[in-house]
Amino acid sequence: MKWLPVLLKLPIFELLLVRASLTLLFQYQLFTSVLVSICWAVKEVDNEISKIRYNGGGQKSLSRFTDESEIEQD
């Protein structure tokens, strides 16, 4: 490991290290922004499902477990 300090002083190694650091930082920021976008989309879908489920906004309530013929017979 005696060669490591010498290698660190070389300009090309410094450039590669900086480039690798920036690449990792960019990938982390990209991953974070994609993750935030997915979480936001899931939250929006959940809000829309809640509106439909609780008959909010004057929309017709949707239910897969009730049959319209059963409702008419009652």
3-class SS letters over 30-48 = HHHHHHHHHHHHHHHHHHH
Query: 50, 56 in Cβ contact below 8 A?
Result: yes
14-60: pLDDT as tens digits: 778 888 888 888 888 889 999 999 999 999 988 888 888 776 555 45
Per-residue pLDDT, 52: 82
The domains of the chain are located at 3-73
Per-residue pLDDT, 55: 65
| Predicted structure pTM score | 0.46
Per-residue pLDDT, 38: 92
Per-residue pLDDT, 59: 47
